[in-house]
Structure 1
Amino acid sequence: MQFDKTVTARGHDFQLTGWVKSGFEGVAGAFAENFATEEEIGASTAIFIDGEQVADLWGGYRDADFSKPWEKDTIVCMMSVAKGISGITFNGLISEGLVDPSEKVATYWPEFAQNGKEDITVSMVLDHTCALPVVTDPLYKGAIFDCDLIVSALEKQAPLWEPGTIAAYHIHTQGNLLGEIARRVTGKRFKDVIQERVIQPLGGDYKIGDLTDEEIETRVATLVPTLAGTLLERKDTEPDTLLAKGFVQHPDEPIGVTLNSKDWRTAEIASANGHGTARTIAKVYGTVVRGGSLDGVTLMSPETVEGMITERHHQYERMQQRHYHQGRGILLNTEEAVWMGPNPRSFGHHGFGGSIGFGDPDANIGFAYSCNKMHARGDNGPRARRIIEALYAGL
């Protein structure tokens, strides 16, 4: 069913476009309701079921001035949704036998074995227990954009506590650590491994950095952060916390400037700065839930999928001070942080501000939602949830 609707709200007309398969009209209705009742500016959502796409919706505006329409090919930074894509890519390396998650990181990266990190395993990096959630060397403001410098600092750094004992969400550093292991076993930068092994084979549109000037000018949506009630507020008001220390290498400027800067859009920050479309993320998860293969493309073996979605721990992690059901490089369904539908085996990753990608292996669903108006909540919020509820109601 073709979907074209204009929603008038908050003094603006939001043109919504796309299509849904018959039976999923409620998904289109939920997508429109977000614009009518929430603070949506621009967004997109996409769904795959049993390898078939059943929804592709987009609309609103890609800028904070409500002047540039969100088009079919608009891309947006989905923040930590990148962790899920990076985790899936890394599990593909495990599937291929290039990495053993039970092996020590230093086996692949000998220089890592400094200052008490000799026994840290790859698995600890994947499940946020390797005790390197922040870079303790303050470096310089803006060092977050220099992946190699961050890797070098982590290489020398001592763990903050005994590795493997305590979970702390590695907001930025997980991507640096996994990326260097991937580089050691493939000879390629992690952003290129992600492209070559996951995104390009599926015909996707998603990049870690590497955006061209033309893409930035014509396709990228502006992120509109909200500070109140979020980790961005806490990092400024609680400077001595682990959370605040996770942002020390950011530029000394408002976060809205940083997240929309050319530096952010072109750097390699594999935990945070992936830009792309919801349909790409949904297709990645729609592939993984089918045993790792779709349309002749194999991302990993069925056995690796099961290993990836097996719970590693359910700790009250120290960075954001909340519980997560943690898999191997991805999150598992966690009501209080990231709700991924009614099935407990659902897995994926949300992004700060409201974007999300997940897979449900029991219903064979790949789902994604992306937005540019970031919400003022600690959890994944009502906008994605409304669409997810409509999806399951239509099954």
Structure 2
Amino acid sequence: MLEPRFSAVAEAFSRVVGKGDDRGAALCVYHRGVPVVDIWAGTADVKTRRPWNENTIAPVTGATKGLLAVAVLLLVQDGTLSLDTPVAECWQEFAAEGKQDITVRWLLSHRAGVPALDKPISSRGLIAGDSPIEALAAQAPAWRPGTAHGYHPNTGAWILQEVVRRVSGHTIGEVLSRRVAAAMGKDVFVGLGEGGAGRLAPLIFPIMELMRARPKEPEFAEFSKAVFASRTLLARSLNTLSMSRTDQFNDPAFLAVGEPSMSGVASASALAWLYASLIGEVDGHRLIDPRLLDAAVHEESQGCDQVMLMNTRFGLGFMLPGGPLWPGDTRTQFGHGGTSGALAFADPAHDLAFAYVPNRMSGYIEGADANARRLAALVYGALP
């Protein structure tokens, strides 16, 4: 579906998909609580030539952290979790090495100081049942918790998963399933079931070549130096979960594990619905109380990122605009991007929710993909 005023968005989308960088993709936009753009095009699976359709879902990699944030906030809203309770209150072993004061708030805002593990874990290990829990408990922080911020690619989500499991008896994926996927009939998964594999749009690799060819702007200079230097905190953080190209984000066994930092799978329409339902009532549902949402999108971390080595901004689980990964002047947005090229966000000031889900790996590590940014700019240009 497409409201006529967004025709320029659809034209740009057509140029990007198939004829441009992305082989297949979907775009969905909600405005004032109703869908105004819901389009898809291209090839979902380049090997089988299966076309993208309205039921296609795709891995969203780092954009999974937006789903993680929603699951945690739902438990905070219920009173099951408290933002400022130390993790060690429910997980005593985690207090080791000076981590006794780390709170849920610091984990959501990337201030915990534990972005990497000295003993990495592999995706194959997770599939086989290995757990990072003991390594997380024993890990010494890279900086004094709470004093600085740095993007936690995996570890923050793993710690939050264990906290959620201990206080609720459920995983992040199970919370999402009970409260969103199953309850609302929406295709957002952290832990993809067997029935979803046939609808999956596999991501197109390789990622390393894309990262080597990443933008040359000065803001990325320190990142580019550190990303391939094995002993840097950035490289150690990115390699804390080691993945081969063959079993990476397309492996149904990995997607089924429910790894909470980057194994999320979703459709663009479901992601847009989810973000729209955070900022207002959609189909009779509003997921998060407005006061809690205001707290979640308030800036908690800003400035030089100790891991990414560039300016980043975070609220509680959500990335905020500011810095080279998400440039722009629309500071009222909140959401998350991923290496897959996916971007999902809401903007309460414009009563807008946006989700772009492609199947081509992006040149950005966890940021707002260039194609997604261009499409979002056109969406804003069509608003009254």
User: For structure 1, which segment, 124-133 or 379-388, has the greater mean C-alpha deviation from structure 2 after superposition?
Assistant: 379-388
Query: Could you say which residue in structure 2 is the equivalent of 1:351?
Result: 338
CA contact (8 A) 1:78 1:351 kept: yes
Query: Could you say which residue in structure 1 is the equivalent of 2:78?
Result: 96
Instruction: Tell me the distance in 1 between the aligned counterparts of 2:31 and 2:123.
Output: 44
AA paired with 1:65? K
Displacement of 1:326 in angstroms is: 1.0
Change (3 A) 1:331 1:250: closer
Change (3 A) 1:106 1:251: closer
Q: Does 1:184 align with 2:166?
A: yes
Instruction: Tell me the distance in 2 between the aligned counterparts of 1:89 and 1:52.
Output: 23
Query: Could you say which residue in structure 2 is the equivalent of 1:275?
Result: 265
Name structure 1 gaps, 5 residues minimum: 1-18
Equivalent residues, number? 371
Match among 317, 329, 332 for residue 329 of structure 1:
317
Correspondence list, 1:45-194, <5 A: 45-65=27-47, 67-138=49-120, 142-145=124-127, 149-194=131-176
Query: Could you say which residue in structure 2 is the equivalent of 1:264?
Result: 254
User: For structure 1, which segment, 126-135 or 381-390, has the greater mean C-alpha deviation from structure 2 after superposition?
Assistant: 381-390
Query: Could you say which residue in structure 2 is the equivalent of 1:8?
Result: none
CA contact (8 A) 2:334 2:346 kept: yes
Displacement of 1:252 in angstroms is: 6.2
Deviations 1:84-140 (A, max 9, x none): 111122112222222221221112333322221111111111111111111212456
CA contact (8 A) 2:180 2:188 kept: no
Correspondence list, 1:384-395, <5 A: 384-395=372-383
Change (3 A) 1:236 1:132: closer
CA contact (8 A) 1:38 1:383 kept: no
CA contact (8 A) 1:141 1:248 kept: no
Displacement of 1:388 in angstroms is: 0.7
Displacement of 1:247 in angstroms is: 4.5
Query: Could you say which residue in structure 2 is the equivalent of 1:40?
Result: 22
Deviations 1:184-240 (A, max 9, x none): 22111221011112333332112112331x532x21111113423527997883222
Match among 215, 225, 231 for residue 196 of structure 2:
215
CA contact (8 A) 1:77 1:273 kept: yes
Name structure 2 gaps, 5 residues minimum: 215-223
Aligned alpha-carbon RMSD (Å): 2.4
Identity within the alignment, %: 27
Correspondence list, 1:227-266, <5 A: 227-230=208-211, 237-248=228-239, 250=241, 253=244, 255=245, 257-266=247-256
Change (3 A) 1:150 1:320: same
AA paired with 1:23? R
Match among 284, 298, 301 for residue 296 of structure 1:
284
Change (3 A) 1:34 1:271: same
Deviations 1:318-340 (A, max 9, x none): 2222211110111112251125x
Instruction: Tell me the distance in 1 between the aligned counterparts of 2:160 and 2:212.
Output: 24
CA contact (8 A) 2:336 2:368 kept: no
Change (3 A) 1:66 1:390: farther
AA paired with 1:362? A
AA paired with 1:34? V
CA contact (8 A) 2:123 2:247 kept: no
Change (3 A) 1:135 1:159: same
User: For structure 1, which segment, 147-156 or 81-90, has the greater mean C-alpha deviation from structure 2 after superposition?
Assistant: 147-156
Instruction: Tell me the distance in 2 between the aligned counterparts of 1:157 and 1:237.
Output: 23
Deviations 1:284-315 (A, max 9, x none): 1101112xx43332322110010001101212
Give the secondary-structure state (helix, strand or coil) at the position aligned to 2:254.
helix
State TM-score, norm by structure 1: 0.87
Q: Does 1:306 align with 2:294?
A: yes
Give the secondary-structure state (helix, strand or coil) at the position aligned to 2:55.
coil
Query: Could you say which residue in structure 2 is the equivalent of 1:15?
Result: none
CA contact (8 A) 2:154 2:240 kept: no
CA contact (8 A) 1:353 1:380 kept: no
